[in-house]
Amino acid sequence: MTHKSRLLNVFDACQEGFFHIDSKGSVTLYNQEFYKQFGINSQHIHLSEWYHRVHEEDADLVKLKIDIGLLEEGQRLSSHYRMLDTSGEYVWIERNAVCLLENGEKYIVGHHRDISDKKKIESFLNNTAFYDSFSGLFNLRKLFLDIDALKSQKETFNIVYIKIGNLQSMPDELSSGLVTDIVNNLKIATLSFADYSPTLYRINMSDYAVLMQRSDSIAPIVKACFETSSDYGELMYEQGHLLANKLSFGIYPDTGQELDSDEIVSLASRTCLYAAQSKSTHIEVYHGNTQSRIDRFFYIENELKNVLRDRKLSVKYHPIICAQTGNVQSFEALARWKSPSFGHIFPDEFIPVAEQKGLIVELGYIVFEKACHFIKQYNDSNGSNISININVSVLQLLNKNFPDNIRKMATQIGLSPANIVLEMTETFLLDENKNARDQLKLLKNMGFTLSLDDFGAGFSSVNSFFDFAFNQIKIDRTFAMKAIADEASSQYLEFLVGLCKSKNISVVIEGIEDSQMMNKFCDMGAGLLQGYWFAKPLSIASAFYYNPTETAKLLQENRK
């Protein structure tokens, strides 16, 4: 046996195929056993016969990489592609080769090996890594990768983040069938975005995202959101689902900012959360004024805990004036937050967040302590005995330790509970919570004055009010304004003031903005007045020296 024959036997013993290609495209194959799986029984074939067996999606790439005329001496070739076998299945093979030059003629030598098992493992890992196991949709990790790919190609895009409403309250045993319907219905409904080459991703149980080509105008995307919402709602209704049948949309239009993919998705998600809290369309676009509101909203959510920890909340004091003398009867303590990034952040912005985040009790204690220190120093400096009105959330009140804690704080500061008026909103009366009622009685027995704030802003009734232990009622500004313009409202308010007087309950009219209002409510018999006509909420320094002399003169003239 010659040396050449022995070498060929070595090739035949391998599990790989070896080949030689000359400059005319003639192919010589070694290890016939390897190539028989592709129906190739001859040792010599032409490249065209080989191409015939390559998967159509891979053919152009294979042809390009094996064009000898374009190759340079020593250039190495490596590629993965699919070949049709005799059973009609495609087998993944790996080709490694090198272009050589001999006697002025180029040729290629190399080898093939079956990598189907490797590709199956890669496919499994890819599915595990990039597909949601329940729905088969792409997952969050794939969304990140796809955004990165678009950014690297300098292509602009839109993301529509979708949140399913009222899904978390669903019983676990119903989740599988319902989630299946949600996924299928979303696949159908999001066809509204078909003009923009959309891809749907499942982020978690209630969140989905659509990545699409950027539109020149955002209006068609908003319209598609409306259509998606309508189509999805109809499909869910037809299937009898009363849960998870509403959608909220957060649209992030790519503006070429240098943001990471996770930051982009986070902004889209935040926009969607903001939309979910909207009482109108439940569709918001991260752009312009809405972008500013969203950034502000989430700054408050993220920063409030730090502000409370560092005790950076300040308190301003709004005078409450005695209608008889014009003197200060009390100050209402109002929490204030000034941010280096967003300026003044108002209570109606951060108080709801504090309640949602479980921070309202801590916030309440901070304001209570600062307000008590202020009024103690004020009374000591001015030789007075006025009160401080402090707002209390229902959530604070339902903390069983709240009464004992604030009494201890007041005692440590040297302030009597008799100088503290605790204001609560009328949501109390609607809740009819027995524990809240018991807490009120306990606070009153401790000597605190109890005030119902914003009466008339909601659905409170006189009967419900007198069922509680309140010493004071504050008439909401909107109710007061209505009483100025409407005779029936004026008569009702006058009746209420008289009724409270008969039961020894003081009445504060809020929102006094001019002398007409002041005179009107003084004539009506209101005992206490509050509003910008007297003063805006004051800093500590301004409150210490506030002296409503002119107001007192006007009130005295009104009584003559």
560 residues of the chain, pLDDT tens digit each:
555 555 555 555 567 899 999 988 899 998 888 999 999 999 999 988 998 899 988 888 777 667 777 788 889 988 899 999 999 999 999 999 999 999 889 999 999 999 888 887 776 666 667 888 888 899 999 999 999 999 988 888 999 999 998 776 555 445 668 888 999 999 999 999 999 999 999 998 899 999 998 877 899 999 999 999 999 999 999 998 888 889 999 999 987 778 899 999 999 999 999 999 876 779 999 998 889 988 998 899 889 999 999 999 999 999 999 998 889 999 999 999 999 989 999 998 999 889 888 999 999 999 999 999 999 999 999 999 999 999 998 889 888 999 999 999 999 999 999 999 999 886 655 556 678 888 999 999 999 999 998 886 554 556 667 777 789 999 989 999 999 999 999 999 999 999 999 999 999 999 999 988 998 999 999 999 999 999 999 999 999 988 776 666 666 666 55
Residues 6 or more apart whose CB falls under 8 angstroms from that of 127 comprise none
**If you search the block for the tokens 């003044």, which residue do you land on?**
344
CA distance 201 to 423: 48
The residue type found at 186 is L
d(CA 155, CA 160): 17
Q: Which residues contact 550 (CB under 8 A, 6 or more apart)?
A: none
Left if phi > 0, otherwise alpha if psi is -120 to 50, otherwise beta: which for 216?
Answer: alpha
Q: What are the tokens at 2?
A: 């010659």
Secondary structure percentages of the chain, helix, strand, coil, to 5: 50, 25, 30
Model pLDDT, residue 462:
64
Q: Which DSSP category does 215 fall into?
A: P
CA–CA distances in Å: residue 410 to residues 105, 368, 387, 394? 100, 9, 13, 20
Q: What would the two tokens of residue 194 be?
A: 């078909």
State residue 177's pLDDT score: 80
- Indicate if the alpha-carbon torsion angle 191, 195, 201, 206 is positive or negative: negative
Structure tokens at 171: 């019983």
Beta bridge partners of 27: 21, 45
Token pair recorded at residue 305: 């805990």
Which residue do the tokens 């409510």 mark?
521
Question: How far apart (Å, rounded) are the C-alpha atoms in residues 376 and 279?
Answer: 43
**Cα 310–Cα 315–Cα 318 angle in degrees, nearest 5:** 175
CA distance 130 to 146: 11
Q: How many Å apart are CA 394 and CA 352, to the nearest integer?
A: 12
Count of H helices and E strands in the chain?
22, 20
Element (H, E) at 130: helix 116-130
- The CA distance from 299 to 306, in Å, is 11
- Which of 79, 66, 70 shows the shortest CA–CA distance to 108? 66
Q: What does the chain come to in residues?
A: 560
Whole-number CA gyration radius for the chain: 38
Nearest to 243 by CA among 308, 181, 333, 292: 181
- For tokens 């009609």, what's the residue? 88
Of 51, 9, 6, 28, nearest in space to 108 by CA: 28
Domains and CATH numbers, the chain: 3-119 (3.30.450.20), 131-286 (3.30.70.270), 312-559 (3.20.20.450)
Query: What angle (nearest 5°) sits at the alpha carbon of residue 62, between those of residues 60 and 65?
Result: 105
Q: ∠301-351-387 over CA atoms, to 5°?
A: 145
Among candidate residues 55, 49, 23, the one with its CA nearest the CA of residue 35: 49
Angle at Cα 393 formed by Cα 391 and Cα 395, nearest 5°? 160
**Three-state DSSP state, 136:** coil
89: helix, coil or strand? coil
Cα separation, 212 vs 455, in Å, equals: 50
**Residue 433: predicted pLDDT:** 67
Cβ–Cβ < 8 Å for 236, 185: yes
The pTM (predicted TM-score) of the whole model is 0.67
Bridge partner list, 211 = 159, 199
Note the pLDDT of residue 66.
72
Contact 246/231 with Cβ under 8 angstroms? no
